Amino acid sequence: MLTPFDAFLAVQEHASNQWAFFGAAIGAGVTAIGAGLGISRIGASANEGIARQPEAANDIKGGSLILSAFIEGVSLFAVVVALLIALKQ
């Protein structure tokens, strides 16, 4: 026999699944925005640094490339976590 508590659990499970999809979508979107802002800030700072000291251009380019790779790695990890949350059964 189906009790009201069983019905509540079924509704809660369905609702939490929808919220998981919503949270994963928000998480992936915020991650993409954050990565874009971080990389744009690195690029702007690198261009300003090269404009001020052209002789240090190679060092600045190398450092900004490494920092961009770190940001991309963290954002990829965050998107994978969001997908794992969305696809959790």
Please name which of 14, 13, 12, 35 lies closest in space to residue 82, comparing C-alpha atoms.
35
Residues spanned by the domain of 27: 23-87
- Residue 4 in any domain: the answer is no
Cα within 13 Å of Cα(6), Cβ side? 3
Q: Please report whether residue 69 resides in a domain.
A: yes
**Does residue 12 belong to any structural domain of this protein?**
no
pLDDT, tens digit, 9 for 90 and up, residues 18-59: 777 788 888 888 999 999 999 999 999 999 999 999 999 999
Give the Cβ contact number of residue 86 at 10 Å.
Answer: 16
Does 31 map to a domain? yes
Structural domain count of the chain: 1
Sign of CA dihedral 49, 50, 55, 61: positive
User: 34 lies in a domain?
Assistant: yes
Kindly report whether the global pTM for this prediction surpasses the value 0.85: no
CATH number of the domain at 78, please: 1.20.20.10
